[in-house]
């Protein structure tokens, strides 16, 4: 039988913490519940104690939940993450950060029980983990290496209706940013993505994608033509359904030409 869980709640709303703690304590799978009012406080506690699971709000004053998880994931033995939020718009980003579940307020006791079951299943799949190494001061030692999520970034999470669709990189023709939003384009579809263009550039630059313009990233495998335009700039024609034309800025031409061998 799985071990009972030691849980930490992080939410700046007192009523939300009280409600979640009440529901968690009713579940036989939960051994103890602690709480923090913000992410900074939680990080300090995680350096002093070990928890199985963290129920984390996203929109909080100061350090938000998404940024906090990037720090938490560097711990030697980080807790499993369940995001608990009033907004569904961060789901794609949450799962990219390896969240076990994503609860949208208000949620039922049944839905919370499902999240707990996912935590226990994830623990089982991970197998027995060694105790975190601690320094003489009692703090948990952080991993020396940065996470290597980029090396395993084989799909892009995008929004589709109320859910999240994972698109194979080979199906992506190009990515465009406009009006402070980023869109992933396939053969004949366009999807909203919650990554910034800069984040995608960093994650995709070793996987056949290149930033060709301040607003565009192109998949080298789907370039049909490279055409001179004017004043040292070029245009790309992509092999999507519309044969979309993309601009190549003058500062990116040399890099692009070298990548495609012309």
Domain regions of the chain by residue span: 5-126, 154-260
**Can you count the helices (H) and strands (E) in the chain?**
7, 15
pTM for the model: 0.50
Do 154-260 and 5-126 have the same topology in CATH?
no
| Structure-token pair, residue 72 | 């938490």
Q: Tell me, what's the pLDDT at 238?
A: 95
Q: Tell me, what's the pLDDT at 2?
A: 64
Q: Tell me, what's the pLDDT at 153?
A: 64
Torsion angles phi and psi, residue 117, rounded to 5: -65, -40
- Weakly modelled stretches of the chain, pLDDT under 50: 128-152
Q: Pseudo-torsion of CA 188, 192, 195, 201, nearest 10°?
A: 20
Q: Between 2.170.270.10, 3.40.50.1370, 2.40.50.1020, 1.20.1250.20, what CATH number should domain 154-260 receive?
A: 2.40.50.1020
Identify the CATH number of the domain defined by range 5-126. 3.40.50.2300
Q: Are 5 and 116 in contact (CB under 8 A)?
A: yes
Size of the chain, expressed as the number of residues it contains = 262
Q: Tell me, what's the pLDDT at 136?
A: 41
Q: 3-state DSSP: the chain helix, strand, coil percent, rounded to 5?
A: 30, 30, 40
Residues of the chain with pLDDT > 70, as a percent, come to 87
Q: Tell me, what's the pLDDT at 1?
A: 52
């Amino acid at each position: 039988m799985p071990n009972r869980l030691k849980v930490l709640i992080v939410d700046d709303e007192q009523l939300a913490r009280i409600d979640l703690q009440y529901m968690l304590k009713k579940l036989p799978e939960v051994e103890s519940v602690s709480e923090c009012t913000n992410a900074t406080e939680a990080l300090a506690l995680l350096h002093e104690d070990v928890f199985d699971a963290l129920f984390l709000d996203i929109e909080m004053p100061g350090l938000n939940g998404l940024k906090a998880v990037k720090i938490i994931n560097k711990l030697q033995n980080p807790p499993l993450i369940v995001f608990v939020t009033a907004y569904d718009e961060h789901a794609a980003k949450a799962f990219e950060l390896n969240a076990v579940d994503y609860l949208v307020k208000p949620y039922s006791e049944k839905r919370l029980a499902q999240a707990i079951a996912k935590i226990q299943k994830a623990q089982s799949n991970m197998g027995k983990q060694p105790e975190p190494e601690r320094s003489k001061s009692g703090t948990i030692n952080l991993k020396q290496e940065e996470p290597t999520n980029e090396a395993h970034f084989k799909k892009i999470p995008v929004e589709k209706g109320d859910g999240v669709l994972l698109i194979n990189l080979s199906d992506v023709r190009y990515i465009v940013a406009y009006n402070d939003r980023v869109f992933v384009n396939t053969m004949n579809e366009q999807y909203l993505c919650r990554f910034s263009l800069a984040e995608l550039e960093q994650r995709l630059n070793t996987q056949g994608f290149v930033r060709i313009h301040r607003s565009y990233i192109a998949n080298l495998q789907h370039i049909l033509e490279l055409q001179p335009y004017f004043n040292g700039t070029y245009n790309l024609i992509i092999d999507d359904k519309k044969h979309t034309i993309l601009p190549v800025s003058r500062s990116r031409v040399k890099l692009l030409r070298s990548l495609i061998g012309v």
